[in-house]
Chains A and B, each alone.
Chain A
C-alpha cells in the first residue's frame, strides 16, 4: 500500500491548541475563523488518518511520543497505536464534519465559540492519546468545560440550566477523579498509566481506594444509569450539531480511556463494569420508550449504546480475540448512526417526534434516517450486525447465555422506540406550517456518514468469521442498490419489468440447481414473486420506495434457500424482515401494524439468533455450517424451542399472531399477497430446516413437536373463527392465513411422511389461493376504496372476472373437491389417523368447517346481494391484476387435475427423511393405507355431472327473462335506501352469540397489557430524572456508594 508520510501526533494537539489561540485575532472575520477551524480539523483528521492507514496497511508499530525531553515516568508521553489512531481519527473526522454542519450556529456566536469547539476536539484527542493519568484529567476537564460551554451554543434558559446541571455533576466527578489520581500517585509512585498498571495498586494497602475513585469517575463520565440525568438533560438542551459530537466523539473517547485505565484493576472490577453497562443499557432503553422529544430520546439511546460498550469492556477477557471486532462494529455503528441522527434532528428542528413527517420533503434524508436506525439496531448489512452476531456466537460459546439474553432484550426495547419514530416519520402528517431548511452544509455530513455506514458495513462483512461466504449477497444487494439510485427517476413500468427480469434471471441461474424442499420453496418465493409483481403493472407513477424494498425482501427469501451456513441464513432472514417491514409500512394506515410486525419479527429474529448461538456453542463452536443443528450436544430442547418460536413469529402461530391481521390488511393491494402468500412461508422453511436437522426434541420432558401439534391445531381453529367475525375483507383473509398456517404447523409436527406431505400440500395450496384471493380482493378494494365488506355488494355484475377468481379461491381454500384444497384435507385425515392425534385432528377439521363460513361470507357480501348506488359504474379490476390472478387459477386447475405431478416427487424426496407410510401412486390415484383419492377422476366426474346438468338447465330455462335485482320483491321500484336491503353486517350473528366468547381478544389484550406495563415502568422510572441538578448530583453520590459495596466492600 501507499506509504503516507507520518506526522508526529503531538501536532494534533499542537494544531488544535494553536489554532484556537490564533482564532482570537479574528474577532471580525467569523467566516475566516470558521474556515481556519475547519482547516485545522482537516489537518488533525489527516494526521490520524496517516497513522491509521499505516497501522492497517503498512504494519506500522505503535509509537511513543515523549515530551519535555524525558522518558516516562518523568514526563508526559503520548501513545499512537492502532486504537489511538482509530479513535483520534473518529473524533477529528466527526469534529470536521460537525464543524461544517454547525456553520450557522458557530458563525452566529462568533470566534469564541469556534475556539471552544476546536478546543473540545483537541481535548478529546488528548484524552485518547495521553498515557499520563494526570494529563488525562486535564484533557478531560478541558473537554468537559468546553462541552459545558457548547451546550449553551443556542443561548436559552433551558440550555443554561442544563449546562449548570452538567457542571455540577461533572465537577463532582472530576473532583473524585482527581482524588483518585493523587492517591494512585501516592501508592503507585507514578502518574504514568503503564507504570501504574505494573505497580499493581490493588496489592498495596489503600491502593484499592485510588483504583475505586479513578474507575468510578471514568464510569460516571460515561453516564451510567441512573446517575446520568445531567447528561440526558444536556442532550436535550444543546444544539443537535453539538450532540452529534458529544455522542459520537466524546462517548468514544471516554470509553477508550476507561478501556486503557481499567487494567489497573482486577477481574472483579471488569465484572462490575459489565454489570453497570448492562443496567445502563437496559435502563436507558426502557426509558427511551416514553420519550416524545427526538434529542432526548437519542440521548437515552446514546447512553444505552455506551452501556453496551461497557458490557463488552467488562467481558473483554471472555470475548477474547473477537473483542476488537465486536467493539469496532458497535462503536462505528453508534458513531455514524448517532451523529447522523442528531444531525437530522438539527435539520428537522422540531423536537416532537410526531412532527417528523416534514422530513419526507427530502426522501433521501428519510432514507438515511432509516439507514442509521437499522445500523443502530444491528440489522444487516451494517457493521453492528456483524458485531452482534460475533458477540452472540462468542458469548454463547463461552456459556454466557444470560448476557446474550439481556443484550438481545435491551436491543428489542431500543427497537420499540426507534422503529416507532421511523414510523412517525414515514407515515404521520407533513405539517405545512413547519419549515425544513436543508442547506448543503447540513446535508453533506449526513450524506457522508450515511454512505460510510454502507461502506463500513461491507468492510465488516468481510471481516466477520465466515464473511467470505457472504459474497452470495453481493449481486442481489447490488441490484437493490441500483434500484435505490434510480428509484427517483424511472416509472413503474420500467422498474417492474427490470425487477421481474432480474428475479427470473436470478432464479434461473442461481436457484435452478436447488433440490427438494429448497426447490419447492424457490417456486413459491420466486414464482410467487414474479406473479405478484405482474400485478404491480397496475400502478401508475413512480412508486418511490417500493421496488428496492420488495427486491430486498425477495433477496432475503432467495438467500434463505441458498444458505449453507447459519450466518447466511440469519442475514437472509433479517433482510427479508427489513424489506417486508418497509413494504408493509407503505400502506395507508399501516403505521402501528408495521411497528408490531417489526417488533415481533425482531423478537423472533433475536430468539433465532440466541438459538443459533446455543447451537453453535453446543456443537463445539468450530463451525457455522447449517449442519451444526444436527450435531447439537446439549440444550437441544432449548435450541429447538427458541428456533421454533422464532420461526413461528413469521408463521403467526396463535399468541404471536397479533401483528398479522393489521399488517396484511393495511398493506397495498399487491403487497398483501406478497406478505401473506409468500412471506409467511419463510417461517415454514425455517421450521423445515429446524425439524429436519434436529428431529424431535423435548424440553422438560414434554415433546416439543407434540406441543407444536397442539399449537398448530389451536391456531388453526382460533384463526379461522376470528376470520368469520371480521367486517374487513382483507382482515378476514389475514386471519384466514393465521388459521391456514396453523394447519401447516400442525401437520409438520407429525414428523411423519404423510404429515409433511400434508404440510407441503397445504403450503403450496395456501400460497396459490391466498395470492389469488388477496389479488382479487385487492383489485376490488382498489376500485371501491373501502375494505369493509358490507359497504359493497352486488359487484358480480361489474366485476365478473374478479368474482370468478374469488370463487375459485374460496373453493380451493375450503377444501371442497374437486379443487386442490381437498388434497390437503384428504392427506391430513390420513396423517391424523396414522399418528393417532385424533382430537387435534378433529380441531383442525372443525377449522375447515369454519373456513367454509368465512369463505361464503367474503364472496357473498362483496359480490352478491344488492348493488350499491355509488358503485353502479365501477370498473373491473385493472388488467395486470387480473392476469396475475388467472395465472394462479391456471396453477390451481393444473394441480387439481394432476396432484401427482407435484405430490409424487415431493413424496419421493420425503422418503429419505421419513421412509414409512409413503403414498402409493397409480397414475393420478393416490393410495394410502386407509383410502384412495384420484384427483383426475374426481375432477372428470364432477365436471361431467356439472356439465350435463348445466346444459340441461340451460336448455329447459332457455326462455328465462333476465331481471334486475328489485324487479320481483319490490315491484320494480328501488327502495329509498338500497343499502338497507343488503345483508352483510354481522353476518354470522347466531354464531357470535353462541361461540363468540372463544375469540375474545385475549392474546391481543395480553400483548397490549405487556406494552402498557412496559410503558408504565418506563414512565415510573424516568421520574427519577426530576430535572433538579442536586438530585442528579445525589444520584452520582449514591451510585458511588452502591458501587463501593460491590468493589471495595464485597
Chain B
C-alpha cells in the first residue's frame, strides 16, 4: 500500500462518520443513564448543541503557548488514531492511512494526545489541574499494563501487528473472534478497557466531588470545543481498535457501529453499578485481577 491523494477525501469521510457516531453515542448513553435514574435526560442531539455553543462563545482567554497547543495535541491524537487505523475490513476506501504503521503505532499514538493535554492544563497554573493530571496519568498507565499484555497476546497469536491481518484472522464465523480463540486475553483487555473510558469506578480524574476543578475545567469556549470534539472521536477510536482486535472487526459500517455501541455500553453498565475508586485503589485493582489474568495469558503463550 502506498499513499495516493484520493485517500484523503475517503479518510475525511470516515472520520466524519466516526465523529458523528461518537457524538450521537455520547448523547444516547447520557439519555439511557438518565432514564435508568428515572430522569428525563438530555436530548439525543444535545452534544451537537454544546459543541456549537462552545465554538461560538465570545469570551476567550489563553495562558500561553502550551495552552494553545494542548487541545491541538489532544485532537491530533484522537484524529490520528482513527486515521492510522483501518475502519472497515477489506475496504479500499476506509483503510485510511494504515499503510504508515500498524497496531504498535496505534498503541503509542494513544499517548500523544494525553501528553499535550496534560501539558496545556499544566500551563493554566492551577494546582488542581496538576493534581488531576497526576491522578489521570497514574490511572491510565496502570490500566495500560494489562492492556499491553492483552494486545501482546493477540499479536503473538496472529503473528502480526497489522490490524488488517488480525481482523482477517478472525473472519469466517464469530467463533474465530479473539473473544473465543483467546478468552483470557479478551477478558484482560475488557477489564483494562474500563480504565481508559473515564467512567466510574475509574473517573476520579474528572470527578467534581473529588477535586473542585479538573483539567477540562481549565479550558473553555473554542479550546473546550476542540476538546469535546476529541471526546467524541477518541473513545470511538479506542472502541474500534477493540472491535478490530478482539471482536472480529467489521466488514461494514452498520456492523462497526453496532459492535462499537455494545462495547461502549460495557463501560457504561459497569460505571452505573460500581462506585468510584480512589487513584491508588484503582492502581492496585489494575495490578491485581487484570494483571494476573494478563500475565497468565502471556505465560501460557510463552511456556505453554
Let me know if chains A and B touch directly in the complex, using CB atoms closer than 8 Å: yes
Q: How far is the CA of A838 from the CA of B295 in the complex (A)?
A: 10
Residue from A794, A867, A960, A966 with most neighbouring chain B CB atoms (10 Å):
A960
Contact with A along B5-49 (1 / 0, CB 8 A): 000000000000000000000000000000000000000000000
Chain A residues whose CB sits within 8 angstroms of the CB of B287 once the complex forms = 994-995
Is A25 interfacial (CB 8 A cutoff)?
Answer: no
Nearest CB in chain B: distance from A866 CB, A: 5
Interface residues of A in 930-967 (CB under 8 A from B): 930-934, 937-938, 941-942, 945-946, 949-950, 953-954, 956-957, 959-963, 965-967
A969 pairs with B126, CB closer than 8 A: yes
| Closest residue of A by beta carbon distance from B8 | A944
Nearest CB in chain B: distance from A202 CB, A: 65
B138 pairs with A988, CB closer than 8 A: yes
B125 pairs with A931, CB closer than 8 A: no
Is A846 interfacial (CB 8 A cutoff)?
Answer: yes
Overall SS of chain B's interface: helix
| Closest residue of A by beta carbon distance from B98 | A932
B109 pairs with A845, CB closer than 8 A: no
- In the complex with contacts A853-B141, A866-B125, A931-B104, A945-B80 CB distance below 8 A: yes
A990 pairs with B155, CB closer than 8 A: no
Is A981 interfacial (CB 8 A cutoff)?
Answer: yes
Which one, B143-151, B175-183, B238-246, B253-261, is touching chain A? B143-151
Is A817 interfacial (CB 8 A cutoff)?
Answer: yes
Count residues of B near A (Cβ-Cβ below 8 Å). Answer: 81
Is A815 interfacial (CB 8 A cutoff)?
Answer: yes
A839 pairs with B109, CB closer than 8 A: no
Nearest CB in chain B: distance from A920 CB, A: 14
- In the complex with contacts A816-B111, A990-B135, A953-B71 CB distance below 8 A: yes
A852 pairs with B104, CB closer than 8 A: no
- In the complex with contacts A822-B108, A852-B141, A965-B125, A860-B130 CB distance below 8 A: yes
A817 pairs with B108, CB closer than 8 A: yes
Nearest CB in chain B: distance from A408 CB, A: 39
- In the complex with contacts A833-B159, A990-B279, A815-B108 CB distance below 8 A: yes
A953 pairs with B68, CB closer than 8 A: yes
A983 pairs with B130, CB closer than 8 A: yes
Count residues of A near B (Cβ-Cβ below 8 Å). Answer: 79
Partner of B108, one of A796, A825, A932, A957: A825
- In the complex with contacts A853-B137, A933-B102, A941-B298 CB distance below 8 A: no
Which one, B116-124, B192-200, B267-275, is touching chain A? B116-124
Nearest CB in chain A: distance from B233 CB, A: 11
- In the complex with contacts A814-B111, A932-B99, A942-B80, A826-B104 CB distance below 8 A: yes
Is B76 interfacial (CB 8 A cutoff)?
Answer: yes
Is A993 interfacial (CB 8 A cutoff)?
Answer: yes
A995 pairs with B119, CB closer than 8 A: no
Interface residues of B in 151-182 (CB under 8 A from A): 152, 155-156, 159-162
B103 pairs with A931, CB closer than 8 A: yes
A957 pairs with B60, CB closer than 8 A: yes
A839 pairs with B100, CB closer than 8 A: no
- In the complex with contacts A938-B100, A954-B68, A836-B302 CB distance below 8 A: yes
A816 pairs with B99, CB closer than 8 A: no
| Closest residue of A by beta carbon distance from B79 | A945
B138 pairs with A991, CB closer than 8 A: yes
Nearest CB in chain A: distance from B44 CB, A: 26
Is B228 interfacial (CB 8 A cutoff)?
Answer: no
A988 pairs with B134, CB closer than 8 A: yes
Residue from A803, A859, A934 with most neighbouring chain B CB atoms (10 Å):
A934
Q: Which chain B residues have a beta carbon within 8 Å of chain A's beta carbons?
A: 3, 55, 58, 60-66, 68-69, 71-73, 75-76, 79-80, 83-84, 97, 99-105, 108-109, 111-112, 115, 118-119, 122-128, 130-131, 133-135, 137-139, 141-142, 144-145, 148-149, 152, 155-156, 159-162, 213, 221-223, 225-226, 278-280, 283-284, 287, 295, 298-299, 301-302
- In the assembled complex, 20 residue pairs joining A and B whose CB atoms fall closer than 8 Å, in A order, are A815-B108, A825-B104, A839-B295, A849-B141, A852-B111, A855-B115, A860-B118, A865-B127, A930-B159, A932-B101, A933-B102, A934-B101, A941-B80, A949-B75, A956-B222, A960-B222, A965-B125, A982-B127, A988-B137, A991-B138
